[in-house]
Structure 1
Amino acid sequence: MSDIKYSTRLNSFGLGKGRKYPTGEESTLDLIALAGQVTGLTSLELNYPEHFGTDSVADISAALDNVGLDVQGVQLRWPAPMFADGAFSNPDPEIRRAAVTMVKEAIGICRELGADHVLLWPAHDGYEYPLQMDYMKSWDWMVECLREVADVDPGIRVSIEYKPAEPRGRTLLNTTGAVIKLIRDCDRPNLGVTLDFGHLLMARENPAQSAAMCLREQKLFGLQLNDSHGVADDGLLVGSIHFSETLELAYYLVREGYAGTYYFDTDPVRENPVRECELNIERMGRIIEVATDMVRDDPALPTGDALHSASVLWTKMLGA
């Protein structure tokens, strides 16, 4: 398991002491230095344009080299107020053009950092009221924009992270199935999905089932791990609430040969962010080990026998 890449949210290191959100004044280089203190961390993913406002790509690369971390991807953030009414689904063609331009810039930075993955979170592509969004036109606009950014560089993977709500009341991409449908409509081999555990819980989806759907399509490009109470995007420690669902997710990831990064999207609001990240790595490493044992020792799983499956989980979770 030494070849597993463990990455995390850079902004987590700007939290703690009761802060839910970074102030926006944190130095990217200082956050990288703090992340470098995490035992077991191999990688980071940076937000564009957020983390590139004052520091050059060369300076950021040097800071990463200094702490022995690489970059596995660049995460695109379309900021409000410009994109408050949507990015690729915005009814204003000039706003859509600006959204595409930002992704092209992120792809260029991704190349400079030696990474091959740009992640899109369409946070504002949604609505609050009936008849506010033209669902059909908005879908077509998203397909058009995604095809254009995917064609910039076929060697760069572009994935979509969906969330059913927040900051919008509802989003156009509100289920795993909706994202897979969109990717099929785009028909580009370098377009895929990034699944966020907490977002799946918000949508009342089972993370393992959603991952299985994406793995079946060979479209699971990224994974964001955390936990929550299922109502909001709590960003809690991995396996802290939904342990059995996390173990089942790991079972499918191991069984189907997922080779991507294990990225932690957590919010240590009151916890020490370095130790919190270390716990995520320790927990996920152990969960992957247990899942690997399950795949090896009981190849007939799942059998359709609920009591047998429950016994296997109970034994693996409690060791008895």
Structure 2
Amino acid sequence: MSTQRYGAGIWHFATYVDRYATDGYGDPRTILDAIELAGQVGDISVVDLNYPFFGGDFSNEQVGDALAKQGLGVIGITPEIYTRTFAKGSFTNPDPGVRRLAHELVTEAARVVRHFGADYVKLWPGQDGWDYPFQVDHGALWKLSLDGVGQLAEENPDLKFVIEYKPREPRVHMSFDSVARTLLGIERIGLPNVGILLDFGHALFGGESPADSAQLAIDYGRLFGMDVNDNLRSWDDDMVAGTVHPIELFEFFVTLRRNGWEGVWQLDQFPFREDSVVAARSAIDFLKRVERGLDRLDLSALAAAQDRQDAMAALALAQRALFGGE
């Protein structure tokens, strides 16, 4: 019987706006509404929560009661260091006062992590970076990025801080834009409690092979978390996992299996026009197929094919394991 745990960012069950449908895709929901929907999926055991909690002034106790009612735990807390307040950056904001606000918000989020017994504070500094040539001093900006994360990790050695990198959006170019640059930054910070949360879609969007990105992060001992979705590679579409790149998603999980990486398989999807519960179930159904495929895959034969760099033989093994057939 499978012991694999599944999770989701609670925003999967929120409502969304974009620059066209500014009135939103559906009625507004609070975090309590979203937790109730997450509980309806059936296979989700943990959620990643935005902080501050959206949709109202809710206490940790109120959120905890809602989670307990649905049988859900918390894997991480994501402080919202990417809102209008931080339009010119959080850790890299030119205003020291705004940088202090970012530090204080993440520190509050760290307390919430302790309250819920979560695994990590997730840092997604989406506004840290630049838009135009000559806009920033790149050396100074990078130092601010690393100092901001490093100070928090040093002040909270009992907690893990995971950086979720992404090439762009909302900033035209984000500071933590790739697995390699993020690893370089983490190595410069030099603290054991800073790692990467690897978003499968962000790796696709950045022109990376997600499997290769995972291997690199594992090789440096920095893969602390992961989440999955899908996209058409030209944007961070956050589509349902496995709908566009099933083979690359399977290769990603093969890499995790080969390296003995164990952790929650988490959804980071934005079902703008789809029913959020149905979208989550659809993704998890595919992830269960992936899990069965991992058990069927002949790893020895795969290794032999890869030693020869025999793409057709390797793909045939992967396709049979994932999709079935002779």
* TM-score computed with the length of structure 2 as normaliser: 0.92
Query: How far apart, CA to CA, are the structure 2 residues paired with 1:195 and 1:34?
Result: 25
Q: Which residue of 1 aligns with 2:262?
A: 259
Query: How far apart, CA to CA, are the structure 1 residues paired with 2:189 and 2:154?
Result: 11
Report the CA distance shift for 1:293/1:218 in structure 2 as closer, same or farther (over 3 A).
farther
**Equivalent position SS for 2:85:** coil
How far the C-alpha of 1:294 sits from its partner, in A, is 2.2
**Equivalent position SS for 2:261:** coil
Structure 1 segments unaligned to the other structure (5+ residues): none
Query: How far apart, CA to CA, are the structure 1 residues paired with 2:42 and 2:275?
Result: 14
Equivalent position amino acid for 2:114 in 1? R
How far the C-alpha of 1:261 sits from its partner, in A, is 1.6
Q: Establish whether residue 316 from structure 1 lines up as the match of residue 314 from structure 2.
A: no
Whether the aligned pair in 2 keeps the contact of 1:126 and 1:170 (CA below 8 Å) is: yes
Q: Which residue of 1 aligns with 2:172?
A: 169
Query: How far apart, CA to CA, are the structure 2 residues paired with 1:193 and 1:78?
Result: 17
Query: How far apart, CA to CA, are the structure 1 residues paired with 2:295 and 2:259?
Result: 11
Q: Which residue of 2 aligns with 1:285?
A: 288
**Equivalent position SS for 2:126:** coil
Whether the aligned pair in 2 keeps the contact of 1:251 and 1:292 (CA below 8 Å) is: no
How far the C-alpha of 1:134 sits from its partner, in A, is 1.3
Q: Which residue of 2 aligns with 1:248?
A: 251
Residues 159-187 of structure 1: CA deviation (Å, up to 9, x unaligned): 10011011111112211100000000000
Among residues 225, 230, 236, which one is paired with 1:227 in the alignment? 230
How far the C-alpha of 1:5 sits from its partner, in A, is 2.0
How far the C-alpha of 1:73 sits from its partner, in A, is 0.7
How far the C-alpha of 1:93 sits from its partner, in A, is 1.7
74-83 vs 130-139, which moves further: 74-83
Query: How far apart, CA to CA, are the structure 1 residues paired with 2:16 and 2:94?
Result: 39
**Equivalent position SS for 1:75:** strand
Q: Establish whether residue 38 from structure 1 lines up as the match of residue 41 from structure 2.
A: yes
Q: Establish whether residue 135 from structure 1 lines up as the match of residue 172 from structure 2.
A: no
Whether the aligned pair in 2 keeps the contact of 1:16 and 1:273 (CA below 8 Å) is: no
Q: Which residue of 2 aligns with 1:195?
A: 198
* TM-score computed with the length of structure 1 as normaliser: 0.93
How far the C-alpha of 1:76 sits from its partner, in A, is 1.9
Q: Which residue of 1 aligns with 2:311?
A: 306
**Equivalent position SS for 1:166:** coil
Report the CA distance shift for 1:193/1:111 in structure 2 as closer, same or farther (over 3 A).
same
**Equivalent position SS for 1:300:** helix
How far the C-alpha of 1:22 sits from its partner, in A, is 6.7
Q: Establish whether residue 268 from structure 1 lines up as the match of residue 271 from structure 2.
A: yes
How far the C-alpha of 1:299 sits from its partner, in A, is 6.3
Query: How far apart, CA to CA, are the structure 2 residues paired with 1:108 and 1:41?
Result: 24
- Provide the alpha-carbon RMSD of the alignment: 2.2
How far the C-alpha of 1:29 sits from its partner, in A, is 1.2
How far the C-alpha of 1:206 sits from its partner, in A, is 0.6
**Equivalent position SS for 1:167:** coil
Query: How far apart, CA to CA, are the structure 2 residues paired with 1:24 and 1:164?
Result: 31
Equivalent position amino acid for 1:14 in 2? A
Equivalent position amino acid for 1:116 in 2? D
How far the C-alpha of 1:91 sits from its partner, in A, is 2.1
Equivalent position amino acid for 2:179 in 1? T
Q: Which residue of 2 aligns with 1:7?
A: 7
Query: How far apart, CA to CA, are the structure 2 residues paired with 1:131 and 1:281?
Result: 45
How far the C-alpha of 1:36 sits from its partner, in A, is 0.7
Q: Which residue of 2 aligns with 1:151?
A: 154
Report the CA distance shift for 1:188/1:253 in structure 2 as closer, same or farther (over 3 A).
same
247-256 vs 296-305, which moves further: 296-305
How far the C-alpha of 1:17 sits from its partner, in A, is 12
Equivalent position amino acid for 1:246 in 2? L
Whether the aligned pair in 1 keeps the contact of 2:38 and 2:277 (CA below 8 Å) is: yes
Report the CA distance shift for 1:293/1:152 in structure 2 as closer, same or farther (over 3 A).
farther
Query: How far apart, CA to CA, are the structure 1 residues paired with 2:38 and 2:83?
Result: 27
Residues 61-104 of structure 1: CA deviation (Å, up to 9, x unaligned): 11111110100111122143221011111222222111111111
Report the CA distance shift for 1:187/1:22 in structure 2 as closer, same or farther (over 3 A).
farther
Residues 99-134 of structure 1: CA deviation (Å, up to 9, x unaligned): 111111100011001113110001001111101021
Query: How far apart, CA to CA, are the structure 2 residues paired with 1:305 and 1:10?
Result: 41
189-198 vs 148-157, which moves further: 148-157
Query: How far apart, CA to CA, are the structure 2 residues paired with 1:279 and 1:258?
Result: 24
215-224 vs 183-192, which moves further: 215-224
Equivalent position amino acid for 2:69 in 1? N
Report the CA distance shift for 1:205/1:108 in structure 2 as closer, same or farther (over 3 A).
same
Query: How far apart, CA to CA, are the structure 2 residues paired with 1:175 and 1:82?
Result: 25
Give the fraction of aligned pairs with identical amino acids, expressed as a percent.
32
How far the C-alpha of 1:4 sits from its partner, in A, is 2.0
